[in-house]
Structure 1
Amino acid sequence: MKSRKRWLSTFTLLAAFALIASACSDDGGDTTAAPDTTAGDTTAAPDTTAAGGVAAEDFKLGILLVGPEFDQGYSQAHFEGAQYAIEKLGLSEDALISLDFINPADNPGLTPEGVAADMISQGADLVIFNSDDMRDGAFAAAEQNPDVPMVWVSGDSAWTDGKDYRADLTNLSNVWGQMIFGKMISGCAAALTTQTGSIGYLGPLTNDETRRLVNSAYLGARYCYENYRGEDPDTLEFNVTYIGFWFEIPGVTLDATQVVNDLIDGGADVIMSGIDTTQALVRSGQRADAGEELWAIPYDYVDGCQEAPDICLGVPYFNWGPSYLEIAQSVIDGTYSAEWQWVGPDWDDLNNIDS
């Protein structure tokens, strides 16, 4: 895996992006871009290269999805990324093995390691766990199948400085995108749009990732509210409610639609989503259709605006295809290694599905 494709956090929020990019490149300002973020950061643990390879025509990819396959959000973005890899490899749809709703609430009888074992028995040469919540299952699966390359998305087991670093798991890689940029741009768009001076954020659960993204959205909003609208940033309201999981599970999490209602009733006229599914946009669109002046910013999926395009300001979305293709090709070539990749956007062509 010598090359580093730039694949994540691309957006349709191009007007806001232009403003943010200009601000970040201003020699007189206090904000500077970190070096080499376009190519992303990659680390590999020593002595982690897998041996052998797989005949290209026999390759199979298994992917475990935390949510529904067609959620118009996070899991669908992963599923379509896996489809992209299979298509680019010239393989049939039978080369993709997938199972959705892999979480304890929806499927308490399933374990990620059990699902992975089943996929391997069906011939999977690479197994992807698409959620941070699958950590323990990914670890168990990697331990039980040391010769099968795997990916734990959003994890840090292959990063020597990671909280969950596992030098012994030489068959488990990690990949994630620098979505901090997407959330920063989204926050800017929200701040440039709000008429009430109040932004609502529909959050998932709380962990390092979600706090980082909320903070990025807030800082982007605050910066643009002050520097492009000329308003006092201390007067900008930014209210966050976490529902308790990546998407709504009745009886387990808060009701995402009710949370959106509460944020709007509290004065927010722009609702940002941090969850895997579409309630922020759908409910805002319903209330806008009833006569309220509202906007929303969904998350995760390239077509995330389609359920209420008239009020959608754009979407920060993940494009998993190029990285999944690169990892799959490394398995075929026999060059796979356990790497941690935190990949930045393709700043030269944000919406290029091949980069």
Structure 2
Amino acid sequence: EMIVADFINPADSPNTTVEQVAADMIDQGAELIFATSDDMKDGILAAAEAHPDVPMIWSSGDSAWADGKAHLPNLTNLGNIMPQMEYGKYLAGCAAALESKSGNIGFLGPLINDETRRLTNAAYLGAKDCWASKNVAGGDLNFQVKWIGFWFHIPGVTLDPTVVVNDFYDSGVDVVISHIDTPEALIETDKRAAAGEDVLVVGYDYEGACELAPNVCLGVPYFNWGPAYLEVAEDVSHDQFEAEFNWVGPNLANLNDKDSSSIGFIFGDALSDTSQGKLENIIESFDKDLTTLFSGPINYQDGTNFVPAGGNPTLNDIWYTPQLLEGMTGDSA
């Protein structure tokens, strides 16, 4: 039996805490708790401490990572799962650059934290590499990042993503990459295209995102949590649960396989056959070692070095990326 509590966030449920929800679920007989957002950190840490005999997973967290900055070895009932979406965002950036005519790309971001910085950086690297492959000057790429403040619009609290997307297009952007949970980027791009503008969009997270605006959607990277969640549930059922940090790589041989890949990428109808072929070649060339996606030389936005020429960062370096990268426009913090 699955007990589900949705809309546990400050906008929809301002008086409900993750700790309260976890306690209610345990009272209803739950033997495994999943907290499915980085934003649930404080609540799931408190819940794990209060219920040490109940296995829990904090998705996207790092509390069980022995080499991480926030390791909590006392919480032996709290594990972490995070798919390596960096591959998917690299593809998103590449698709945007391959189809952009101007080299002006807008990135619609949520809030700023380690996760969103590193995934935004991965999108930029994909855009940078694929823009360069078109034999145009690398300096012609203009990658603008705008953070709205949360994963979706909260009136009076966040920026309005509808306004941000239109501001992008008004400034000369011709492709927007969405990194929020709601479809404003697709909706507004579709409207602008229907009015005769040559604009395109890359969705995020929801596998069926392109169905909302098929004429302008280049593709969508999405999470596939099922395989990792199932493995944990089976471990719990066999009394074999251990609090592990699992940064789960995709099945690069079959990226959209629902039974084995932690992420996927759906090609959109607006993506040309030529660009799709290039993306397929890139997927074939991916190394299962995530650090190779960030091969140097790479500098941070302030000009300091992130990865030296010929080197790769550590996984720790990637996870805790403190800044956006050189060549990107937007706030790092």
TM-score, structure 2 normalization: 0.77
Count of aligned pairs between the two proteins: 260
* Corresponding residue of 1:150: 56
Unaligned runs of 5+ in 2: 261-333
Q: Superposition pairs for residues 330-345 of structure 1, below 5 Å? A: 330-345=235-250
Unaligned runs of 5+ in 1: 1-94
Q: What is the root-mean-square deviation in Å for CA atoms of aligned residues? A: 0.9
Q: Superposition pairs for residues 257-268 of structure 1, below 5 Å? A: 257-268=162-173
What letter corresponds to residue 252 of structure 1 in structure 2? V
CA drift of 1:265 comes to 0.6
**Runs of 4 or more off by more than 3 Å in structure 1?**
none
* Corresponding residue of 1:329: 234
Q: Superposition pairs for residues 49-60 of structure 1, below 5 Å? A: none
User: What's the secondary structure of 1:299's corresponding residue?
Assistant: coil
Q: Superposition pairs for residues 184-199 of structure 1, below 5 Å? A: 184-199=90-105
CA drift of 1:106 comes to 2.3
Describe the superposition over 1:50-80 as per-residue Cα deviations: whole angstroms up to 9, x where unpaired. xxxxxxxxxxxxxxxxxxxxxxxxxxxxxxx
The one of the two structures with greater contact order (alpha-carbon pairs below 8 A, sep at least 6) is 1
CA drift of 1:178 comes to 1.0
CA drift of 1:283 comes to 1.1
What letter corresponds to residue 316 of structure 1 in structure 2? P
Match of 2:199 among 278, 289, 294: 294
What letter corresponds to residue 96 of structure 2 in structure 1? A
* Corresponding residue of 1:276: 181
* Corresponding residue of 1:127: 33
Q: Does 1:236 align with 2:141?
A: yes
Q: Does 1:256 align with 2:168?
A: no
Q: Does 1:99 align with 2:5?
A: yes
Describe the superposition over 1:188-242 as per-residue Cα deviations: whole angstroms up to 9, x where unpaired. 111110012200100001111111111111111111111x210111111111100
Q: Distance in 1 between matches of 2:191 and 2:22?
A: 40
Q: Does 1:140 align with 2:50?
A: no
Q: Distance in 1 between matches of 2:10 and 2:103?
A: 39
* Corresponding residue of 2:112: 206
Q: Distance in 1 between matches of 2:56 and 2:22?
A: 10
Describe the superposition over 1:147-172 as per-residue Cα deviations: whole angstroms up to 9, x where unpaired. 11100011000001222211000000
Q: Distance in 1 between matches of 2:167 and 2:234?
A: 47
CA drift of 1:322 comes to 0.8
What letter corresponds to residue 233 of structure 2 in structure 1? A
User: What's the secondary structure of 1:96's corresponding residue?
Assistant: coil
Q: Distance in 2 between matches of 1:318 and 1:114?
A: 27
What letter corresponds to residue 241 of structure 2 in structure 1? Y
CA drift of 1:281 comes to 1.1
* Corresponding residue of 1:351: 256
* Corresponding residue of 1:307: 212
Q: Distance in 1 between matches of 2:111 and 2:163?
A: 16
User: What's the secondary structure of 1:103's corresponding residue?
Assistant: coil
Match of 2:125 among 219, 235, 242: 219
Q: Distance in 2 between matches of 1:301 and 1:320?
A: 12
CA drift of 1:290 comes to 1.7
User: What's the secondary structure of 1:314's corresponding residue?
Assistant: strand
What letter corresponds to residue 60 of structure 2 in structure 1? S
Q: Distance in 1 between matches of 2:9 and 2:69?
A: 22
What letter corresponds to residue 30 of structure 2 in structure 1? A
Q: Distance in 2 between matches of 1:121 and 1:114?
A: 11
Q: Distance in 1 between matches of 2:10 and 2:129?
A: 39
Describe the superposition over 1:304-352 as per-residue Cα deviations: whole angstroms up to 9, x where unpaired. 1110011111111101111111111111011011000001110111111
CA drift of 1:104 comes to 2.0
Q: Distance in 2 between matches of 1:209 and 1:117?
A: 27
Q: Distance in 2 between matches of 1:267 and 1:126?
A: 49
Q: Distance in 1 between matches of 2:214 and 2:28?
A: 41
* Corresponding residue of 1:181: 87
CA drift of 1:105 comes to 2.8
Q: Distance in 2 between matches of 1:309 and 1:353?
A: 22
